[in-house]
């Protein structure tokens, strides 16, 4: 029987709850022989992989130890070229600040085919969980996904000027926990109204999610007082005023995923 061509899958694990995986992601995880997973991927999802699957934690969480990207790339290629079904499991969506382009280029250059499987990104998860839209007719005509880059203690705002001054632009800032005050100050300096509604969501899309709201000029202060330890997404724009902590749908409200998840798993085969 001919050996299968080497292949790797870059899979979005979504915000963390197993019931927010796509059916395709579930099917691929169940068939994995080597699973390289980020620190934000929870045990509930890791448990879906086969018992004999090789599990390798790569880290990739702000402030924590992690493998270097070059090491991850090389390890994926080596395992795939040995004939293993390699699954690179990433929090959220692999194509949104997930370095999927770098990994895909590296693997394909070495003869490894790559399939990217999308996942729910933090901005979508937060909006659904806390009942606010990311775009809204007459209020928010575009959405920008950004990351906070702090250099020498100051926010790098290159490329932000147009968006900062556009009241109808919703800004979703990933990895913004530690730079929230600098982000708010930078946006205000570029012309955004200090009273612009803003919010922060810790652990978006999970049962542990927490919502923090404030006008833009107080966002850093509110986050600092709340002292979140998990990943934090910032949303800045008029749509943030629609957020409602009471609208949050928890996994526990559905009784947990095990029974129905196993039924979906069976159907997906």
Residues tagged active-site:
38, 60, 175
What pairing do the DSSP bridges indicate for beta strands 232-236 and 34-38?
unpaired
**For the chain, what is the HEC assignment?**
CCCCCCEEEEEECECCCHHHCCHHHHHHHHCCCEEEEECCCCHHHHCCCCCCCEEEEEECCCCCCCCCHHHHHHHHHHHHHCCCCEEEEECECCCCCCCHHHHHHHHHHCCCEEEEECCCCHHHHHHHHHCCCCCECCCECEEEEEECCEECCEECCCCCHHHHCCCCEEEEEECCCCCHHHHHHHHHHCCCCCCCEEEEEECCCCCCCEEEEEEHHHHHHHHHHHCCCCCEEEEECHHHHHCCHHHCCCHHHHCCCHHHHHHHHHHHC
The token duo for 51 is 């018992």
Other Cβ atoms within 10 Å of 129 Cβ, number:
23
Cα–Cα distance list, 97 to 118, 121, 124 (Å):
13, 10, 14
């Amino acid at each position: 029987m001919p050996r299968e061509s080497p292949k790797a899958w870059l899979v979005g694990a979504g915000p963390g709850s197993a019931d927010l995986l796509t059916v395709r992601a579930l099917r691929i995880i169940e068939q994995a022989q080597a699973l390289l997973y980020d620190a934000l991927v929870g045990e509930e999802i890791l448990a879906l992989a086969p018992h004999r699957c090789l599990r390798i934690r790569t880290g990739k969480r702000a402030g924590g130890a992690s493998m270097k990207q070059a090491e991850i790339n090389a390890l994926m290629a080596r395992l795939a070229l040995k004939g293993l079904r390699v699954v690179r499991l990433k929090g959220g969506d692999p194509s949104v600040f997930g370095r999927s382009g770098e990994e895909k280029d590296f693997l394909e250059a070495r003869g490894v085919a790559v399939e990217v499987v999308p996942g729910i990104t933090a901005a979508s998860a937060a909006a659904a969980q806390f009942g606010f839209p990311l775009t809204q007719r007459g209020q928010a005509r575009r959405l920008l996904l950004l990351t906070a880059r702090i250099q020498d203690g100051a926010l790098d705002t290159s490329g932000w000027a147009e968006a900062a001054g556009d009241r109808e632009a919703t800004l979703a800032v990933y990895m913004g926990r530690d730079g929230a005050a600098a982000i708010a100050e930078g946006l205000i300096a570029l012309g955004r109204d200090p009273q612009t509604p803003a919010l922060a969501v810790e652990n978006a899309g999970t049962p542990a999610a927490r919502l923090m709201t404030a006008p833009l000029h107080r966002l850093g202060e509110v986050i600092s007082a709340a002292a979140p330890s998990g990943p934090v997404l910032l949303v800045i724009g008029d749509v943030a005023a629609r957020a409602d902590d009471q609208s949050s749908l928890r996994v526990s409200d559905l009784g947990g995923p095990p029974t129905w998840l196993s039924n979906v798993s069976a159907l997906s085969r």
